[in-house]
Structure 1
Amino acid sequence: MVRPPRPPPPPKDKKHPKRRMNSKKAVERSAYFARREAAWVLRQVLQGDARRRATASIKSLVYGPSVRNKKATFALVCQTLKYLPLMKDVLTRTKLLTCKWKKQEELIFVTAYDVLFGRDIAMTGDVEKFLMRHKDALQAALAQLCSTQKFKHVEDLLLKNQNPVISKPRYVRVNTLKMDVESAIQEIGKTNKVAKDDMVPDMLVLPSGVDLHDHPLVKNGSMFLQGKASSMVAVALCPKPGWKVLDGCAAPGNKTIHLAALMKGKGNIIACELHEERVKVLQDTIRRSGAPNVDIVHGDFLDIDTRDPLFAKVRAILLDPSCSGSGISAERLDHLLPSFSKGHDVDAATSQRAKKLAAFQRKALAHALSFPEVERVVYSTCSIYQTENEDVIKSVLPLATSLNFELATPFPRWPRRGLPVFEGCKYSQSQAEHVLRTDPREDMEGFFIALFVRKKSINSSGKMIRRNIGESSSCSTPKNHRKRKRVMMYPFCRMLRMWSYQALARQIPTER
């Protein structure tokens, strides 16, 4: 992935080492690089949107390490996306977007917005100078567009082209590995109105629009900006201190470190992530949190050999696999994207992409249930589609029942439960009441949570046992464990995986 250009360091002056550029030059230089960083972010989200593929959200791209001038870049990206149809219309009328500039069209869009509606500052750079030479033509095209659409003022035209703004409270989760909740309330309460959440014990609720990205407690990992529904997932799993826990698809790591906090830093969490770039994000999240009990595995969750001593004693699994992200479109600012305004998401729930995601999700959930010592498995998505939620659970229920699992009810007081699609299922008539949904409008995020708990049985001697598959071996020693981390991270056993899924295929109906 090509990174946005970064500003070079200011020239050193031996006679005056603390001399700074004058304010005008500093503003001009800052704006120059903010436009290029905004163009880079714009290209990522527009390309992903055009391919209808999940990509990093606008916020995650802007607030990632690649972007220096975060506030200016974020504002430019959002404003350009708000008026992108208008900007395209103006540029089409002026015929300025020729082949020469087509490869830099995102920078053209960003700069054209700045030329027409941005701050009155000097423009440096080839693209800026080119558009400034044609500023009169751009303004004339904008006036013509106002006349055509029968608006007297440009401001009225801008209001017409705006997408609806979705406001939501600001949620922040206290990292209890570093700070207690009461101390966090006192510190945040100095500048903002703050309240405790009624469901998640370590979560605080602040007014909409509060920006905490640069807050010292967020930067040092004492607090994490995480949505309420996202934070409910780890609480639903409820791992005990001292357990061995597996996070199957861990990056960016917010749920992983929440598990560590709930376990009070005791026991062991194995955080599995396939993609190298996301592993780096996961490492950074764990480092900032100060979690002492997390080991990272760089590999495919589906390739884990459940009989490997490193994983044989796993007692709880959090599975938050790749999904459509349809439940967090507001948080991702997807309402600013072209596909949203065109209404392309009408049939997204039944698209080929959703079906492929659901197929992967079924395999991942079946694999999670197959670990010999696992007692609790949470399956969650940030999707609102039945295809990725209830349909996945229903298809895996036969396997879960054969392994002595049943659906439990996380957050019993939560009012929104699953869709009534389990009727007629021979395993249960009321499974929909066990699974949990959050609503994108009412709860600001659309999440789905299902909790599987392995039932216990009593043997002839009266001892409580669990019904497991296969024989488990003892955990590796710390010395062996460290050696594994230095080399790869676990052996792959594709033959076992093939055998498991051939058996699974006879129980789970395939998609048609």
Structure 2
Amino acid sequence: MSLYLEAATILESPQTTSLKAIIYNPSKPFKSPQPKLYALIVETLKFQDILKEVVENSGILKLERKLTPLLSILLTHDLLLTKSGIATSSGPLKDALLRHKARLNAEFTRARLRRGHADIKSLIGAVNAEHSRESEDGVTKTATGLTSFNPRWVRVNALQTTLEDSLSSPTFHAFQEVGSVSDMFFFDVVRKTYYRKAEILPNILAIHPSHDITSSELYKSGKIILQSASSCLPAIMLDPPKGSMVVDGCAAPGNKTTHLAALVGSSGKIFAVERDRRRADILEMMITKAGAEGIVTTLKATDFTTIMEGHPAWQASYILLDPSCSGSGILQRVDWDISKLNLPSSDTTSSHPSKKKRKRDETLPNGSASQPEERETKQLEEEIQDDDTSRERLQSLSDFQVAIILHAFLFPNARRITYSTCSVHAEENEHVVARVLNSEIAKERGWRVQSRDENPLSTWHRRGLVGELSDLKSSLEEQRRVADGCIRVHRTDSLGGGFFVTCFTRQVDDKGQFGGGIGNLDIVPAQEDKSRSQVLGDTTEVENQEWNGLSDEGPNEAVSAVDIADGDPRSGKRQKRKPGKAQQGRTEKTNRQFQKGRKGWS
């Protein structure tokens, strides 16, 4: 019975921190296994409205004075909603509940049918759909019945250290490698373990989300960077060689920029473009902390679509584009508020439900568990339905994303371009790919989607949706090849959120020349002082309103990773780290040189 008594004690206490911190970092250790304690509380909170209704309508609190309202819903949850039942041997509290098992089951059946669910599995799926976000302990169960595990991903900054040195450092030396992400989540207590998927994620590892490494020397010095694995995919897929010139067209907050810097090395050159001055300041701080000052030149307050002939970035061979998007794939952490627990009343005398306003879970459509072959489609549909993005908003974002890619297609020496979003919507993903491939620019300059077997992420199992490429003016075989060259990441894939990435590459003839007679084409300048984005449609307002980059560790993490030197990164206290003098000087010189006489470049 200690499991239920300890859970009741936690729920009765004032909440001063997150539920996860209360359970996994207690002032006094619990007798019960921490995962079981956490699961019991979270599941009870999820089903609290139904449990309250069942307990009240059964009238057991009037009949069993030893049962408190809190213990009644904890015990009733396990009695009705778990296969193993109440997890304790016989005792007065368990016996008190079991005396009314038939009545509780009857009231539970009535509550389920009132909500329009034919069986318990359907009800559980509907309630889980209300909470299909990243839970505090990193374990999520969706309405389709799939369980996902959401660890904290760490990228080792190869500019300052190596993976081997990081693992042998005081921060990680006690950590043991496990064979899968899920292996980190099935212990009675959280253990020091890490997981690697080295074949597609070099220098990247996952740890349990309860491990706080932000106070470590590795983190403070920029030797490790908190970055979701999904947001590492664009740089990996672009695969720029050592010493190459790269443009990051939408660079802030800087995780992808510094990842690129680690790939090209000290002999490489990166132009990090950011039109928003405030975000550009964060970008520069990130570059400084990562030790990439000698590699990256920041183009502050610069619109990527205004870079053209005469600008040094115009000669880049590799371009990474991660423009503004709906952010519909981003995981949102659930913060369980135990103060809002809805407890049953012991004063009720009615055996009928009160005529109260219907809760959200009462209006959910009826449904049953998906067949295995339908689960992936259902999973994506669930992610899409979960986001309230309007069609009009998606179309505006899509127009902006197309304009960005079409301008990148004009770069005369560009060999590869990656395009990525943290969106689950086809309008921002496959539809954008089809639109740009249908363009005259793509056809004239020989741009196509890189084949699956040509890119470093060929082993990733989830590819683009061929059904969303029907607008691509090509054969069905080519549509399938394009879809296979795109990568999709679902929220339940444990890489840190929903994501999409593809790589555009240019055809090269037998003489090593770009396809389409590229060298003989004249570059069409933007009209007068207007940028290409203005010519194709003004999306400035949309871009400024939308999500502007992936926040890998919650709303404050992108800032905390670069401008908080000490203390808790979630404290909200910002200690700004100024960019180095060399970085500032190089940025000012570049901007000064190319603003003069070119009005659109400021």
- How does the TM-score come out when normalised to structure 1? 0.60
Return closer, same or farther for 1:190/1:491 CA change in 2, 3 Å cut-off.
Answer: farther
1:396 to 421, 436, 448: 436
Alpha-carbon distance change, 352 to 450 in structure 1, aligned in 2, over 3 angstroms: same
Asked whether 1:485 is paired with 2:594, we answer: no
Aligned residue identity for 2:414? V
Which position in structure 2 is the counterpart of 1:425? 472
Match of 1:153 in 2: 69
Q: Secondary structure at the match of 2:458?
A: coil
**Residue identity opposite 1:176 in structure 2:** A
2-structure distance, mates of 1:334, 1:364: 34
Q: In the alignment, residue 484 of structure 1 is paired with which amino acid? A: K
Give me the whole-angstrom Cα distance separating, in 2, the residues matched to 1:442 and 1:463.
39
Pairing 1:413–2:455 present: no
Cα 1:490–1:470 change in 2 (3 A) is: farther
Partner of 1:19: none
Q: Assess if the C-alpha contact under 8 Å between 1:437 and 1:449 holds in 2.
A: yes
Structure 2: how far apart are the matches of 1:333 and 1:492? Answer: 48
- Match in the other structure for 1:380: 420
Normalising by structure 2, report the TM-score.
Answer: 0.52
Q: Which runs of 5+ in 1 are unaligned?
A: 1-30, 39-78, 90-142, 473-477, 497-512
- CA gap of 1:336–1:294, structure 2 versus 1, over 3 A, is farther
In structure 2, the residue corresponding to 1:321 is in which secondary structure? Answer: coil
- Alpha carbons of structure 1 residues 201 and 482: separation in structure 2 relative to 1, 3 Å: closer
User: 2:237 aligned with 1:236, yes or no?
Assistant: yes
Amino acid at match of 2:443: T
**Residue correspondence of structure 1 range 167-246 to structure 2 within 5 A:** 167-187=149-169, 188-191=172-175, 192-198=192-198, 199-246=200-247
* Conserved 8 A contact 1:250-1:271: yes
Moved more, 367-376 or 306-315: 306-315
1:457, CA displacement in angstroms?
2.3
Aligned match of 1:442 in 486, 493, 513? 493
- Cα distance change of structure 1 residues 157 and 273 upon mapping to structure 2, 3 Å threshold: farther
Higher relative contact order (CA 8 A, sep 6+): 2
The CA deviation string for residues 122-162 of structure 1, in whole angstroms up to 9 with x for no partner, is: xxxxxxxxxxxxxxxxxxxxx99x97999963577799999
Q: Which residue of 1 aligns with 2:257?
A: 256
* Corresponding residue number in structure 2 for 1:101: none
Structure 1 residue 364 and structure 2 residue 404: aligned? yes
Partner of 2:311: 309
Task: Give the match's secondary structure for 1:456.
Answer: coil
Shift of 1:229: 1.2
Match of 2:561 in 1: none
Please tell me whether the aligned partners of residues 436 and 448 of structure 1 are also in contact (alpha carbons under 8 angstroms).
yes
Match of residue 322 from structure 1: 324
Q: CA deviation at 1:349?
A: 5.0
Letter in 2 for 1:429: Q
1:333 and 2:383 aligned = no
% identical equivalent positions: 28
Matches of 1:278 and 1:495, distance apart in 2 = 19
SS at match of 2:314: coil
- Deviations along 1:29-49, one digit per CA (max 9) or x if unpaired, are xx9xx99xx9xxxxxxxxxxx
CA contact (8 A) 2:410 2:523 kept: no
CA shift, 1:481, in A, is 6.6
SS at 1:429 equivalent: helix
Q: Aligned equivalents of 1:156 and 1:407: distance in 2?
A: 59
CA distance in 1, matches of 2:58, 2:163: 54
Mapped to 1, the partners of 2:273 and 2:58 lie a distance apart of 54
CA distance in 1, matches of 2:72, 2:458: 48
- 1:231 Cα deviation after fit: 0.9
SS at match of 1:380: strand
Q: Distance in 2 between matches of 1:233 and 1:463?
A: 26
**2: CA distance, partners of 1:176 / 1:495:** 36
> Which structure: larger Rg?
2
The alignment's C-alpha RMSD in Å is 4.2
- 3-state SS of 1:312 partner: helix
What letter matches 1:239 in structure 2? P
Q: Which amino acid aligns with 2:295?
A: N
Residue in 1 that maps onto 2:505: 453
Deviates more, 1:194-203 or 1:250-259: 194-203
Matches of 2:58 and 2:438, distance apart in 1: 59
Deviation at 1:272, TM superposition (A): 0.7
Structure 2 gap ranges (5+): 1-13, 19-40, 62-67, 78-126, 141-148, 176-191, 338-359, 365-383, 525-582
